[in-house]
A and B are shown apart, each in its own frame.
Chain A
Amino acid sequence: MRSTVSNGADFARTRVFKKMIRIYPREDVCIGCRLCEIHCIVQHSKSRNIIKAFKSERRPRKRVEVEEEGHVSFALQCRHCEEAPCVTACLSGAMSKDPKTGAVNNDPERCIGCWTCILVCPYGAIHRVEDGHVAGKCDLCPDREVPACVANCPNEALVMEEV
């Protein structure tokens, strides 16, 4: 059964049981404010303090990107594909699909920074992150009940669904 959780939920708690979740954008109500990007950066920062993350620490790269043209916009992050091209293409086996959650994750210890995943991703959802030596992407905020982008969208244009 599918259940939809919007940002009204208590996002401070962590996902105790490993659930299969996916994030879907709603283009009709995305207002292009980019607060999802901002809170993604905070979530992946060292201190998780918004002011420190932006001003005094090394700023992590955002894992979600708002695509915008005219009044149409939507936030795009890794789709965690069923048949993920990045997993198939990864030379070192760093990119893998978690059999329990279905999440596609990159192991920075094994990533050799060859950028093959970046080349094959059909969504452009993988980037060189912080130190520039490894690839990074949306990790579905595993230690949050609701991912930061979903929880902080002011217009509920990002929806988390359990699958």
Chain B
Amino acid sequence: MKSYLLPEFVIDRDDFRCIRCEVCVRQCANDVHWYDEEDDACYLDETKCVGCQRCATLCPTSALTVRRNPASNPDNANWTMDVLMNIYKQAETGGVLLTGMGCDRDYPIYWDRMVLDASQVTNPSIDPLREPMELRTYLGAKPDALEIKGEGANQRVKTRMAPQLKLEIPVMFSAISYGAVSFNTCESLARAATEAGTYWNTGEGGLHSKLYKYKDHTICQVASGRFGVHADYLEAAAALEIKIGQGAKPGIGGHLPGEKVSAEISRTRMIPKGTDALSPAPHHDIYSIEDLSQLIYALKEASHWVKPVSVKIAAVHNSAAIASGIVRAGADIVVLDGIRGGTGAAPTMIRDNVGIPIELALAAADTRLRAEGIRNRASVVVAGGIRSSADVVKAIALGADACYIGTAALVGMGCHVCQKCYTGKCNWGIATQDPYLAKRLNPDIGARRLTNLLRGWSHEIQEMLGGMGINAIESLRGNRQRLRGVGLSREELDILGIKHAGE
């Protein structure tokens, strides 16, 4: 059948600059470029281009420009080119539309509709370069009250504290499974988390034994497929996370195609080589909060009660009530993953249409947990579309204890968000198991770039806190007075629990 699909991208090659060095030819896993010796020319097949910018980035003479194909149907707000292409694709294949990364539709980004406060005249701002500024935060259940024993100098805290995770910056790396991404990606994340004093998350794909040495900075996930979950795995974690759902595809399971299940992944995931790794949509042993509680306590028991247990859900309509249930079920940390959360593969319609923005879910959950008087019993971590240090500061002011970054971390390592993770042909060496491509992410460079990113963010967070006259991240938590909405309706402001700018 003749395909009606137009190329998504066009590539301009400046022939004056092109030196026929063939770097583009060797770097493109999609075979877009090739060199013809007879004509001494580089030719292109733009229909295969995914717009990952690898060729343009590595071209030594900047001869290449990859841009969106400007060809479009007559202006039509309803039948956009994307919509048309999706229909052509399905009419030609009869399949489900697949995609990677997070929702790319233009739902309101509330981070960009909220502004932060700063001190002027009546309360002094603080210069973080001259005065101490505390970004350290602890995740885990906090006691209702502290009991003190002893007298005078011998006073000691009597209350037994629940296990805590110590974060030097309130940003952790989201769950990204080995299988969805390359080993080098996992190693980069693990090394950067260790260096920066934060945590990375294994995702549902188990943990390669070579990474056990980063155990003090590893959060091990237990998901519906239970891939790679065994005693050593639980031992190799600083905390355990039960994944109920993820923001990119709430309500549906995962599917790692058999082609990606190499020998190493098969060993790590404990499944036969070359077989599809299917994560069921629900945990088949969890159909109620009580069931969830059983798994939480089973994991606590298995890890000798020294590790916090987290529960991650996708942000959906009633996630505030579910968060309350999760806290009551005994979780130490509740993770909410918003609609913009990423994935290695998801049906496009699910990714773009299911779930709610994380800002609203966070505000609603924090409000509810506070109203019920159980906010101290668990930390709240948010994920899904955290792009900058300003988003982190706003999330903390809205009530989060810390943030997870996934997409931002991958971008830090070179990802250009082309959303083709599901093809396994990531030209940046991230979402691939092809040894030829996976080498492209040097873990030394990946770890360094991530550490730099976190260092940059921590400086910025300190500056923003200082500007507000606050010298500890703990003092900002849930301090919604320091936020104002811009251009938001009364309803949105009520849900976010903030005033409008000018109020």
- Output the least CB separation between B361 and chain A (Å): 39
Min distance, Cβ A44 to any Cβ of chain B, angstroms: 15
B60 x A31 contact (CB < 8 A): no
Residues in A55-113 with C-beta less than 8 Å from chain B:
55, 70-71
Inter-chain contacts of A70 with B (CB < 8 A): 436
Q: Please, how many angstroms separate the alpha-carbon atoms of A155 and B439 in the complex? A: 9
- Number of contacts between A and B (CB, 8 Å)? 55
Partner of B26, one of A32, A54, A71, A155: A32
Known interface pairs A31-B439, A51-B61, A54-B20; 11 further A-B residue pairs with C-beta atoms within 8 A, sorted by A's residue number: A29-B444, A31-B27, A32-B26, A33-B26, A33-B27, A38-B21, A38-B23, A38-B60, A54-B21, A156-B442, A156-B444
* Residues of the A chain whose Cβ atoms lie less than 8 Å from the Cβ of B22: 34
Interchain CB contact under 8 A, A35 and B58:
yes
A31–B441 Cα distance when bound, in Å, is: 9
- A-B pairs, top 10 by smallest CB distance, nearest first, are A54-B19, A71-B436, A29-B442, A71-B435, A155-B442, A38-B21, A31-B440, A33-B23, A31-B439, A156-B442
Picked from B19, B435, B439, the residue with its CB within 8 Å of the CB of A51 is B19
Q: Distance (Å) between the CB of B473 and the closest chain A CB?
A: 31
With the chains together, A132 CA to B27 CA distance in Å? Answer: 32
A28: nearest chain-B partner, CB-CB: B439
Q: How far is the CB of A157 from chain B (nearest CB, A)?
A: 7
Taking CB atoms, residues of chain B closer than 8 Å to A155 are 439-440, 442, 445
Cα of A39 to Cα of B429 in the assembled complex, Å: 23
Query: Once bound together, how far apart are the Cα atoms of A71 and B19, in whole Å?
Result: 25
Report the interface size for chain A: residues with CB under 8 A from the other chain: 22
Question: Which of B17, B23, B60, B445 lies in contact with A156, CB distance below 8 A?
Answer: B445
Query: Can you report 30 residue pairs joining A to B where beta carbons are below 8 Å apart?
Result: A28-B439, A29-B439, A31-B439, A32-B26, A33-B23, A33-B26, A33-B27, A34-B21, A34-B22, A35-B21, A35-B23, A35-B58, A38-B21, A38-B60, A50-B19, A50-B60, A51-B16, A51-B17, A54-B20, A54-B21, A70-B436, A71-B434, A71-B439, A152-B60, A154-B58, A155-B440, A155-B442, A155-B445, A156-B445, A157-B442
CA distance A155 to B444 in the complex (A): 9
Near A by CB (< 8 A), chain B positions 420-474 give 429, 434-436, 439-440, 442, 444-445
Cβ-defined contact, B17 with A30, below 8 A:
no
Count of chain B residues with a beta carbon within 8 Å of a chain A beta carbon: 21
- Distance A34 CA – B59 CA, assembled complex (angstroms): 11
Q: Give the one of B20, B22, B434, B445 with max A CB within 10 A.
A: B445
Complex contacts, A53 vs chain B, CB 8 Å:
19
Q: A39 vs B58: C-alpha distance in the bound complex, in angstroms?
A: 13
A residues contacting B by CB (< 8 A) are 28-35, 38-39, 50-51, 53-55, 70-71, 152, 154-157
- Main secondary structure, interface of B, reads loop
Given known contacts A34-B21, A51-B17, A156-B444, A39 and B60 CB-to-CB distance under 8 angstroms: yes
Assembly CA distance A53 to B19 (angstroms): 9
Flag if B442 contacts A35 (CB, 8 Å).
no
Enumerate B361-377 residues with CB–CB distance to A below 8 Å: none
Distance in angstroms from A160 CB to nearest chain B CB is 15
Set of chain A residues within 8 Å of B440, measured between Cβ atoms: 31, 155
**Which residue of chain A has its CB nearest to the CB of B444?**
A156
In angstroms, Cα B42 to Cα A77, docked, is 28
Cα A51 to Cα B17 with chains together (Å): 6
Expressed in whole angstroms, the minimum distance between the Cβ of A97 and any Cβ of chain B is 32
Give, as a whole number of angstroms, the nearest-CB distance from A64 to chain B. Answer: 14
**Chain A minimum-CB-distance residue to B16:** A51
Interface string of B46-66 (1 = CB under 8 A from A): 000000000000101100000
Quick check: B439 and A30 within 8 Å, CB to CB?
yes
Inter-subunit contact A34/B23 (CB<8 Å): yes
B442 contact set on A, CB distance < 8 A: 29, 155-157
A54 to B60, alpha carbons, bound, how many Å? Answer: 12
Pick the residue among B26, B61, B445 that contacts A50 (CB under 8 A). B61
Using Cβ atoms and an 8 Å threshold, which residues of chain A touch B436? 32, 70-71
Contacting residues, chain B, for A28 (C-beta < 8 A):
439
A35 neighbours in B (Cβ, 8 Å) = 21, 23, 58, 60
List the A residue with the shortest CB-CB distance to B448: A8
Q: Report A17 CB to chain B, min CB distance, Å.
A: 27
Which residues of the partner chain A approach B27 to less than 8 Å between Cβ atoms?
Answer: 31, 33
Chain A: CB-nearest residue to B22: A34
CA distance A50 to B17 in the complex (A): 9
